Amino acid sequence: MSDYREIAFEDWSLDKVLEWRSRLTPEAPFLSFLDGPALSFAEVSDKAAARAEQLDAAGVRQGTVVALLLPNSIEHVILWFAINLLGAADAPVNPAFVGAPLEHAFNLVEAEIAIVEGSLVERVISSAPHLKHLRKVLYVGGEPQLSSGMALRTQRLHPTQLANGTYRSTALKPSDLTSILFTSGTTGPSKGVMVTQAQAFLTARQTAEGLAVSGEDVYYCSHPLFHMSPRFCAVYTALLTGAKVSLDTRFSAADWLERVRRCGATVTIGHGPLLEMIHAQPESSDDSDNPLTRLGTSPFPKHIAADFERRFGLKGVETWGMTEINIPCWHPMDEPLRPGSCGRLREEWYELQVVDPDTDQPLPAGQVGEFVIRPKLPWIVSPGYYKNPDATLRAWRNLWFHTGDSGYLDEEGWAFFVDRLGDRIRRRAENISSYDIELVANGLSEVLESAAVGVPSGFVSDDDIKLCVVLHKGADFDPASLLTRMAAKLPHHMVPRYVERLDAMPRTPTQKIRKSVLRQTGVSAATWDRKANGFDLMAVKQGHA
């Protein structure tokens, strides 16, 4: 069997796919990082097995959830694979997290074991009193500075070359978990999306088919590996197809084209605001002189889509999906650009309806409502949120998964995404928890209560963060001081741009804060803007490093 489409459903699991690919094209290049050499499929398989032996010895067992606090790297991928080989699931955490967001993520998945980049170990140590379940930290990379107390619970994962077959191999099923990926918290803290083996496989298969990926392709990926897209749309897709993946440390609009050329990428992924940043770079007459032919994107901003294709000489394929449900809608490769549409439903896998968000009644073509989805095969969408049955039931009411996204279908079945329901903030392709921002703000001595909302950033489907605060009686309003202290406890991308003082929050009859009112108010003369006031966030962050 040489075609991933021939893999039987019962074999839709990472262990079987890794073994199949390593037999089929063992010497073909699989993973490279920046300008470094590529590891072959056989080498990645061997290294994953060797890491599995170490993790087995460290106590990782079937059903264990292992937290990962790692930047983009080949090691990150190998550890994800190794954890799965043991029948365990990984829970990758944003390596920018510090303090409360980090603690919430570790505690949510009840992580007893964490694998951490050496330079980040001290961050975990500082949060240790608040990590309810953590008993062991395994680290890779640089050597951390360890206190005597923490050293007893910390162990280095030494580089290893070959496995000796001593780890407890687990035959995975389509229903088993591969990962727990964190959502943005909307009306509360972030949730852990349980991703099954079948779900991850199907996301990769859909991507392979939707972008026509083959073993001749080089896939450039600068997205952070704690997200769905780089894992399942890039790395796993390459595993299915025999393509090569070139991983990067981070996204940079100014360097994007040069890095695409440098690694010889023929296919890549990008999200709306990131593409707008690339498009905003000064145009050169040779921009189309690059190897890229395909770009998977969600969304493909309609005001630049046609010009982006022209300028860079590629085909943009717009999609719609989310971590919980994979990617149900794809723009067919053989169809011309249809600006604003995220494609058609993959009807062999899913059912899709547009419903009234208040009544769940289906709406006619052309009318905006909430996208709801359900699968036609078992285990190909998330079974729910980890140890959060209430949130799972709310999302899965009336036998449909309620996405929180609004849009419509036209008479021909083309899907159009319009907006997001709820309180999500999406900044530069990052979903951000308003709860995490508010938790830090409410811990400041002068703040009585706060509410974080997204306001238009100037990019399509993208927000800047506005923080509204009500202060204790007699407290002084000093937004620069407020943000300085918040910056010490939040990653860069979660620090608000705008701060506004209110006498009281607008509320519903049940006393919930009406964030829709705060969003609609937007930025006014009463809003303090850190950029307009010369507040240098990077300098502040470096001062706390």
* pLDDT tens column, 435-492: 789 889 999 999 999 999 999 998 887 899 999 999 999 999 999 999 999 998 998 8
Q: What is the pLDDT of residue 509?
A: 55
In angstroms, the CA 497 to CA 530 distance is 6
Higher-confidence residue of 429 and 373: namely 373
Statement: residue 541 has pLDDT above 70? no
Statement: residue 186 has pLDDT above 60? no
Higher-confidence residue of 539 and 7: namely 7
In angstroms, the CA 437 to CA 434 distance is 5
Compute the average pLDDT of residues 193-211: 98
In angstroms, the CA 231 to CA 384 distance is 19
Out of 212-216, 387-391, 417-421, 503-507, pick the least confident. Answer: 417-421
Q: What is the pLDDT of residue 184?
A: 65
Q: What is the pLDDT of residue 512?
A: 74
Statement: residue 152 has pLDDT above 90? no
Confidence tier at 14 by pLDDT (50, 70, 90): very high
408: β partners: 416
Closest to 231 measured CA to CA, from 39, 79, 29, 42: 79
Compute the average pLDDT of residues 136-148: 83
In angstroms, the CA 228 to CA 263 distance is 22
Statement: residue 365 has pLDDT above 70? yes
In angstroms, the CA 261 to CA 264 distance is 5
| Domains of the chain by start residue, with CATH | 4-197 (3.40.50.980), 251-420 (3.40.50.12780), 425-544 (3.30.300.30)
The residue ranges of DSSP E strands in 294-400, in sequence order, are: 294-297, 315-322, 326-330, 344-345, 350-355, 369-375
Q: What is the pLDDT of residue 542?
A: 66
318: β partners: 297
Closest to 27 measured CA to CA, from 16, 17, 13, 38: 38
Compute the average pLDDT of residues 515-524: 89
Statement: residue 5 has pLDDT above 50? yes
Q: What proportion of the chain, given as a percentage, has pLDDT over 90?
A: 77
Considering the chain, what is the average pLDDT of its residues?
92
Compute the average pLDDT of residues 14-34: 97
pLDDT in tens, 412-433: 999 999 877 766 687 877 778 7
Compute the average pLDDT of residues 235-242: 98
Q: Dihedrals φ, ψ of 317, to 5°?
A: -115, 105
Q: What is the pLDDT of residue 436?
A: 82
Closest to 329 measured CA to CA, from 342, 339, 341, 340: 342
Statement: residue 510 has pLDDT above 60? no
Q: What is the pLDDT of residue 35?
A: 81
191: β partners: none
Q: What is the pLDDT of residue 516?
A: 81
Q: What is the pLDDT of residue 545?
A: 42
Q: What is the pLDDT of residue 142?
A: 85
245: β partners: 31, 219
- Asked if residues 14 and 47 have their Cβ atoms less than 8 Å apart, the reply is no
Q: What is the pLDDT of residue 185?
A: 52
Closest to 407 measured CA to CA, from 352, 455, 446: 352
User: Would you tell me the crossing angle of helices 537-544 and 479-487 to the nearest 10 degrees?
Assistant: 50
Query: What SS3 state is found at 472?
Result: coil
pLDDT in tens, 300-354: 988 899 999 999 999 999 999 999 999 999 999 999 999 999 999 999 999 999 9
Confidence tier at 511 by pLDDT (50, 70, 90): low
